[in-house]
Each structure stands twice: as C-alpha cells, then as structure tokens.
C-alpha cells in the first residue's frame, strides 16, 4: 500500500525551496495529492500531501528532503496520514464552500477572533484566509483606510439563518461589515451591476435637492425619509413630493446636476467594472436628467429613471410615463439581464432604500449600501463602512488585482 504524508515546509522565503522538495519527490515517484503555499511577510509556508508508492523507501525520502532543505536553512516536518483520514478528505469534494468577507477601515484581532469563533460555533471550518486589501502604512488614518480579509470556509452551518444573524450582530457590535456567500461558479462569473442612483451612486436624494430649489425642502425631505424607511408606499410618496415641485424653473436642473457628489468609491468601482468587461446600469426612482448626466460622466451602459414633465420651462409636478417603483426596478433588472443574455445569478444589484429591495432580492448578489436598517436587515449583503468599491472585495478581487488595471 502507498504511504501518505503531509509535508509541512516553513522558514525564510528564498528561491529554490519548492524546487528542492519536488525534485526529491519526483526521484521517489511520489504522487502529489494536494499542494498549497503562502508567503506572509517573507515567511514561507508550504504544504504537500504526498503518496509514496509501495516498495519505495520512505525513510530515505524524508532524509533526502531534509538534506536538501538544510542547505537552505528551511524547516520541514513529515506527518503520516491514515487512509481513513484521506478518504474523509476526498469525500468533502463537491460539497458547498462559503466565503466570509470581513471589511473595515482597520481590521483588529478581536474582529478576526469573533468571526473565527462564530464560524466554529456553527460547525464550519476555515480552510484559508487571504488579505484582499493592499498593504497599509503604519500611520494610515482609520477614517481613510480600507481593509479586507476573506475567509474560505467548508461545511454546512447547523442553522444558516442563525449563522447569518450572528454575523450581522458581530458587524453591528464592532461597526464593521461581514458578508457571507456561497463560493460557486456564479461568484466568479457575474457580468452586470445594476445601481440605484440617489444615496447609492450619489450622496444625495435629487428630489430633495430640487425641493430645496423650490423652497419646499423640509416637506419633501420628510416624505422621502418615510419612503426610504418603508413607512409609506413609494408611488404615493413620490406623487406627493412631485406635486410640491410644481412651478419649479427647469433651468435649475443643470446646476443641481453639477453639484451632485459621487459616493466614495463610485468612480473607481465603475471604471474597474468596465475594464473587467461588466455591463452597468442605473435603475432609479429619481429622474432621467440626472441619470443621463451620470451616464456621461461614468460611462454607464443603461439608464432607467422617471422622466420629469416640463411645460413652458417649468416642472409640472408630474412625470411622463410609468413611475419607477420597487417592482418596476426588479422588472427592469430582469429585462436588462435578458437583453445581455445573462442569468439572474450573474447580476449584482446595489441600493439603499426600501424600494430597492425587490431588485436586491432577485439578483444573484444583492448589496445594501449604507442602507436604512430595514433594507440592511433584508438584503443578502451590506456595506456600510467602506466605499462602493468595497463591492470588488465581495467579488474576490484584491487591490493588487485592480491595481494592474489602473
């Protein structure tokens, strides 16, 4: 019978370590069953699961590897693996794997400990931990910093709903973001991102900005907030707010558009998505004038929003055509996906308000961005502490990956 060994190699990283080990294994006609390597701050950790053929001198193999690595001042340990343990490992093949992504301005040891503890409590085992964010300066500001660590976990949580709830509690307690998603083929093959506009891509509700110009800011803002919290039906609230804008001079639209501020990370996210071949869309309960302004600025592929009705240079207090509410947003997401030949699992939706929930719920990845409590609790994922480009981490892209595109 073959002898199975787990070979652990560690020490100061230098050229030739992997070559020395694998050349010896080749000489003894060893089969490599698994291999993994990581380097953390110039410290090498290499693991090889090896099968030594019957009739080969395993003791001689061990000594040969030790001699080769001694010259490089590298440590090595051989651990025998039973056939039962190996077969148990093989049986895990094809079973679900999950990704837990930890995002914060600065990641502290207690954040990692909390995630590891909850993961263990729900019968999940951490296979791999990878830092996706770039290297931080020692004096980097917590306000401007961005950190992300990705955990690859194996197994099935004993209670998936409670596990997600426990992660949300951790996120709230530590003021960080924690995402949990299945690591499947769709995670690596998403091709369309659909954005809400107001308070998602931009740091404002445009209808509130127009209301300020019309002198009815406080009245409209109060209705807007109630709608975003889900306290008022969107269509009813929208009709009420639009009526208050009647008589507004349409000449102010351009100046309002020019003072709109993009939310943190919006420009970097969309430019990166475009370079990676993604299609992007704005599907908004706001107005086409501003959606098209952002389309020109950012290079967004599709824009769907409400068309302001203007007569004789003044806003009439109505919109032309159907009001885009939550259900209509979901319908438009489906239509765009179909036009692009995509499955819904390949679509990402991003929004902040209650009227975004229908599209967030049908997208393969629905992300609540700096969202109201109701939306954050209902969405599949949420980002509250980083900018919009934190979405790239949820897709598995590292800062090193995206730096190549700049």
Catalytic residue numbers?
196, 198
* Alpha-carbon torsion, ordered 119, 121, 122, 124, to 10 deg: 50
- Residue 33 three-state SS: strand
- Residue 36 three-state SS: strand
| Closest by CA position to 282, among listed 227, 343, 253, 324 | 324
What backbone torsions phi and psi does residue 95 show, to the nearest 5 degrees? -75, 160
How many beta carbons lie within 10 A of that of residue 18, not counting itself? 14
Could you give the CA distance from residue 211 to residue 349 in angstroms, rounded to a whole number? 28
- Residue 105 three-state SS: coil
- Cβ–Cβ < 8 Å for 277, 191: yes
Task: Count the residues in the chain.
Answer: 406
The encoded tokens of residue 163 equal: 């596990």
What backbone torsions phi and psi does residue 143 show, to the nearest 5 degrees? -70, -30
Which secondary structure element, helix H or strand E, spans residue 378, and what is its range? helix 373-378
Could you give the CA distance from residue 122 to residue 101 in angstroms, rounded to a whole number? 16
The encoded tokens of residue 66 equal: 């030790």
How many beta carbons lie within 10 A of that of residue 131, not counting itself? 16
């Amino acid at each position: 019978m073959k002898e199975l060994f787990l070979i652990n190699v560690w020490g100061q990283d230098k050229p030739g370590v992997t070559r020395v080990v694998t050349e010896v294994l080749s000489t003894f006609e060893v089969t490599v069953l698994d291999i993994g390597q990581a380097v953390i701050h110039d410290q090498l950790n290499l693991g090889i699961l090896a099968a030594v053929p019957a009739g080969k001198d395993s003791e001689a193999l061990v000594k040969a590897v030790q001699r080769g690595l001694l010259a490089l001042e590298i440590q090595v340990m051989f651990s025998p693996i039973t056939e039962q343990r190996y077969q148990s490992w093989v049986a895990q093949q094809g079973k679900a794997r999950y990704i837990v992504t930890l995002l914060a301005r600065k990641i502290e040891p207690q954040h990692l400990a909390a995630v590891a503890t909850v993961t263990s409590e729900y019968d999940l085992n951490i296979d791999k931990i990878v830092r996706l964010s770039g290297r931080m300066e020692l004096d980097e500001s917590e306000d401007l910093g961005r950190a992300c660590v990705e955990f690859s976990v194996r197994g099935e949580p004993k209670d998936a709903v409670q596990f997600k709830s426990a992660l949300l509690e951790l996120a709230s307690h530590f003021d960080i973001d924690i995402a949990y998603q299945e690591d499947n083929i769709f995670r690596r093959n998403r091709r369309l991102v659909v954005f809400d506009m107001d308070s998602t891509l931009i740091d404002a509700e445009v209808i509130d900005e127009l209301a300020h110009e019309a002198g009815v800011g406080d009245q409209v803002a109060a209705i807007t907030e109630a709608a975003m919290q889900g306290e008022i039906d969107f269509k009813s609230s929208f009709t009420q707010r639009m009526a208050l804008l009647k008589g507004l001079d349409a000449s102010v639209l351009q100046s309002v558009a020019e003072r709109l501020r993009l939310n943190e990370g919006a420009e970097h996210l969309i430019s990166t998505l475009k370079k990676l071949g993604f299609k992007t869309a704005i599907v908004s309960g706001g107005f086409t004038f501003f959606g098209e302004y952002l389309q020109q600025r950012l290079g967004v592929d599709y824009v769907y929003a409400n068309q302001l009705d203007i007569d004789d240079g003044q806003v009439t207090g109505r919109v032309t055509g159907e009001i885009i509410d939550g259900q209509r947003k979901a319908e438009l997401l489906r239509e765009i996906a179909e036009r692009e030949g995509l499955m819904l699992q390949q679509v990402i939706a991003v929004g902040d308000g209650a009227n975004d929930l229908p599209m967030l719920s049908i997208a393969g990845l629905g992300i609540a961005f700096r969202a109201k409590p109701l939306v954050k609790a209902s969405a599949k994922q949420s980002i509250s502490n980083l900018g919009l480009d934190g979405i790239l981490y949820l897709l598995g892209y590292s800062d090193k990956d995206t730096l190549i595109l700049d």
